[in-house]
Structure 1
Amino acid sequence: MLSSPNTDLAARWNTLRGEKPALRIRDAAATLGVSEAELVALGVGQTATPLTTDWRGILNDMPEVGRVMCLTRNEHCVHERHGRFEGVDVKAPHGIVLGPDIDLRLFLGSWKHGFAVREPLKQGERLSLQFFDGAGDAVHKIYATDETDRPAFDALIVRYTAATLPDMKIGRRAPDAVDRPDSEIDVAGLRTAWLGMKDTHEFFGMLGKFKVGRVQALRLVGEDLARELPARALRAAFEAASADSTPVMVFVGSHGCIQIHTGPVKRLVDTQGWFNVLDPDFNLHLRDAGVARVFSVRKPTEDGIVTSIEAFDAHNRNILLMFGARKPGKPELEEWRAIVANVEKQAAS
């Protein structure tokens, strides 16, 4: 009797797990040539429970489960933050979570599949909610911790369990947009619009207006506004912030979520090609080899100049954004400006 595609995939995954038991599911999916969502779906009935697509309901009910760990990642960076869901405001296709610890920007139009996942451990299990886009890539995960109200978490899962198995049609991701030639960009107009910004949120609209790629704009606008730095400059900024306890904001995005840490970064650790922040409530894992370009960027706002360090991969996809901690209506921290200025000075020497 011929095996089904799912049976074949399950057998190949079991073989791979036997060969590489420490391999993470995202890397296993890449090795097997499938999506992470397809591997999770193999566990339906055992380790995975399909959820309804009522993302608004699930997110609005998250405050009742207490402290959790939220995880958002892209190909080269993983962002993990502990805290409670507070300030949840979801109006599909967008949503925000604005708590002091869990701070998210949600793009729910990209959310297509959701599962509750129970991963067996030597002692107990690891419980999470995992959400995936149409290409089967994880957009956001929410993990129970020792401080989570487990009965409330279990009740939430029961409430949003899907009545039927999900349709796991996995589509191909659209190719990245190709930048127009530099010669076709109105650089003078771009620079004028950049200098006229009143809020950092105007930035993406400006890129669209001038039909210019993000890294392309950083290259063209002028070094007073955006300056390319060596890849090591990103690490230097983290090290300086750690050394003098300057609070920062660290943004990491997937195709359906941007997750933000605001606060200090203390314990910095290198492990086998990864640069890590390993603090009690915030962990960051950055793949060194993935960082191809780094820029210091200055954007005018009504509160003064806002400065960032921005990292991109070899395909000009954003990996991470780093700012000084700030609130609307407040000027940027002088300590953060000094860090960026010193990083630029080191790069020039």
Structure 2
Amino acid sequence: MRERDLADKLGISEAQLLAAHCGAGVTAVNPHPDAVMGAAMRLGEVMALTRNEDCVIEKVGTYANYHAGPHASMVLNDAIDLRMFPAHWQYGFMVEKETDAGTRRSLQVFDAAGDAVHKIFLREGADLAVWEQVKQEMRLPEQVQTLSVGKREPDEAPRSARDKVDILRQEWERMTDTHQFLRLTSKLKMNRLGAYRVAGAPFVRALAPSAFDDMLQKVQAQGLEIMVFVGNRGCIEIHSGPVHTLKAMGPWQNVLDPGFNLHLRLDRIAEVWAVDKPTRRGPAVSVEAFNKDGGLILQVFGVGKEGRDCRPAWGKLVEGLDGLAEEVTA
């Protein structure tokens, strides 16, 4: 059984489960992104994993080009591309677990509720001397086997302000960068999904929940390059590139490509929106999936890099996705 599932069954958090094994294959370490990324950049080729309740993204590569910041940090890299929010990096562990395939080594970070923020798994052929050195450098003085964790924060329900829709639409039209959007919604006392529910055309279009899987199938068939954003409160991990292999298993839709895996619970998708935000480089069109509680599961954009601009084809694909017959009410 996976640690996350076992922890749920025991009624504890995953971080508490790991802490209980401190001294027996688990070492508590400094969880700050500066320390974790400093270590990650020395570990060679690894697998980076970020998840939320409904989706998991895994990327193989090396950590490099780390930019620290008090409120937000980044790793800007072709293979491993991360946005990190240090306030949520509360517990860290280096884990050595015996499996049928040998010892699996990982560096794992958790938030205040003990939920996973980001995990880094060593690959075959890793330099174990570096691993041991990093473990000694990052090790906390006290290796306690019990943790007092906080309550898990629920997903924020959609927040709309119908009396401010005109301002929302006017300011939306003036945007020059997608990052301005959350500042705009915060100023208007709305959040992402709440704003989508009231903005209307030409800014957003409500899609059928099935449209997300349909989009993935079309991206694969057309060989389009996309940007996939999957995250939680503490970390967002990004894939930029094509999707080659889709494999549905039960409620999961899976991308199983060399260097890139995605595992998405299709049955947890309650709302899907096609969103058009203006930027200096042209429209940023996304398809975004939300769960029943209003939590963002993942976002997909078209890649718009020089020499690899898939945005026109991506825009046409999104236009062809099935819309909802009835308008979503705020």
Shift of 1:332: 6.0
**In structure 2, distance between residues paired with 1:67 and 1:203:** 35
Residues 72 and 139 in structure 1, CA contact (< 8 A), matched pair in contact too? yes
Q: How far, CA to CA, are the matches of 2:125 and 2:316 in structure 1?
A: 38
- 1:187, distance to aligned residue in structure 2 (A): 0.4
Q: Report the CA distance between 1:327 and its aligned residue.
A: 3.8
Counterparts of 1:94-173 in structure 2 under 5 Å? 94-166=72-144, 168-173=147-152
1:11-26 aligned within 5 A? 23-26=1-4
Distance of aligned partners of 1:155 and 1:347 in 2 relative to their CA distance in 1, 3 Å threshold: farther
CA positional deviation for 1:181: 6.0
Q: What SS does the corresponding residue of 2:321 show, helix, strand or coil?
A: helix
For residues 65 and 269 of structure 1, what CA distance do their matches in structure 2 show?
A: 31
Cα pair 2:50 2:118 within 8 Å, conserved: yes
Of 296-305 and 122-131, the range deviating more from structure 2: 122-131
TM-score, with length taken from structure 1: 0.88
Does 2:318 match 1:340? yes
Say whether the 8 Å CA contact 1:130–1:138 is kept in structure 2: yes
Picking from 26, 35, 38, the partner of 2:13 is 35
1:217 to 160, 185, 195: 195
* 1:42 to partner: Cα distance: 1.3
Aligned partner letter, 2:2: R
How big is the shift at 1:329? 12
Kindly state the Cα deviation for residue 158 of structure 1 after the two structures are TM-superposed. 1.9
* Mapping for residues 183-332 of structure 1, pairs under 5 Å: 183=162, 185-327=163-305
Higher RCO (CA 8 Å, separation ≥ 6 residues): 2
Structure with the bigger percentage of helix: 1
| Aligned-partner Cα distance in 2 for 1:311–1:179 | 13
Shift of residue 182, structure 1, vs aligned partner: 4.6
Decide whether the 8 Å contact of 1:276 with 1:285 is kept in 2.
yes
Aligned mate of 1:59, from 15, 37, 48: 37
Whether 1:88 aligns to 2:66 is yes
Contact between 1:67 and 1:147, CA under 8 Å: does it hold in 2?
no
Aligned residue type for 2:293: H
Alpha-carbon offset, residue 160 of structure 1: 0.6
RMSD: 2.1
How far, CA to CA, are the matches of 2:267 and 2:233 in structure 1?
Answer: 21
Residue pair 1:96, 1:106 contacting (<8 A) in 2 also: yes
SS in 2 for 1:186: helix
- Whole-angstrom distance in 2 between the partners of 1:347 and 1:248: 27
Q: Distance in 2 between matches of 1:54 and 1:193?
A: 36
Letter of the aligned partner of 2:186 in structure 1? G
Shift of 1:328: 8.8
Aligned to 1:12: none
Judge conservation of contact 2:66–2:73 (CA < 8 Å) in 1: yes
* Alignment-mate amino acid for residue 149 of structure 2: I
Measured in 2, the distance between the counterparts of 1:343 and 1:180 equals: 26
Q: 1:157 is aligned with what amino acid?
A: K
Q: How many angstroms apart in 2 are the aligned matches of 1:247 and 1:36?
A: 34
Deviation at 1:221, TM superposition (A): 0.5
- The residue type paired with residue 111 of structure 1 is W
Q: CA deviation at 1:240?
A: 0.9
* Unaligned stretches of 5+ residues in structure 2: none
Cα distance in structure 1, aligned partners of 2:158 and 2:218: 34
What are the equivalent positions in structure 2 for 1:66-81 lying under 5 Å apart?
A: 66-81=44-59
